[in-house]
Amino acid sequence: MTDWLINLDHSITLGLNGMHTPFWNEVMLFLSAKTVWIPLYAAIAILFFVPRWYGEKSQALISGSRIPLWLTGLIGVLAVLLCFGLTEQVTNIVKNIIERPRPGNEPLLQGLLLSLPEGAGGGYGFFSAHASNTFGMAVLTALIFRRKWYSVFIVLWAASVSFSRIYLAKHFTTDVLCGAVAGILIGLAVYFLYKYILSLISRKYTRTDDLHS
């Protein structure tokens, strides 16, 4: 990274850190906690098996009209799991290659950070797994469901979780932005794979119906 970008990263981190309050610390800790979102993940998994939930432009309705509901739902759930696995693995690979310290472990910021509500953290910070995971899932599920209000909600959710990582000084801004970009690209790639698989299975069921007609 160029010096001006590193300095900007440091300035944003220090600026946010100086604005910490007990209330916002708790809010950001809540947003960053992975376990609190388990009910959301469970609800999304269930929605894959609810045909009326899909929007009119959803590929699940276009290609999946002849596919059993349980199979369409299962493909959607597997797509999300694949997306999560890919974002997690890619993030870990990049972290181990770049080896960028987290803000709390950055030598240039030692003694300057006033608050680390979640601690300095271990390992490396570039790029953010929270950002890649949440944006990957947000993009993938928004494209699958094709519900406008859901798309707005899930992207705002991903952005809020990602911002919490900057606020808590667990990541620099570029860590989060690059993580979000990686998540978006992986989410798009998995979605195209999802569409392709649905199309293949749909054609198979169509041929089977034709043979039995």
Q: Write out pLDDT tens, residues 178-204.
A: 999 999 999 999 999 999 998 888 777
CATH code of the domain containing 159: 1.20.144
DSSP state at residue 34:
S
Average pLDDT for 125-129:
92
Write out the DSSP string of 58-127. Answer: -HHHHT-TTS-HHHHHHHHHHHHHHHHHHHHHHHHHHHHHH-PBPGGG-GGGTTT----TT-S-SSB-SS
Confidence of residue 98 (pLDDT cuts 50, 70, 90): very high
Which range marks the domain in which residue 34 is found? 3-212
Q: Is 137 a residue whose pLDDT tops 70?
A: yes
Average pLDDT for 47-64:
82
- Which pTM value belongs to this model? 0.90
Q: How far is CA 64 from the centre of its chain?
A: 25
Sorted by sequence, the CB contacts under 8 Å of residue 94 that are 6+ apart come out as 126, 127, 182
Average pLDDT for 18-30:
93
Helix 129-145, helix 173-212: angle, nearest 10: 30
Q: What is the pLDDT of residue 190?
A: 98
Contact 128, 173 (CB under 8 A): no
Confidence of residue 64 (pLDDT cuts 50, 70, 90): low
* CA distances from residue 97 to 4, 55, 124, 125, 181 in whole angstroms, order as listed: 22, 41, 10, 11, 18
Average pLDDT for 83-98:
96
Query: Looking at the 3D structure of the chain, how many domains does it have?
Result: 1
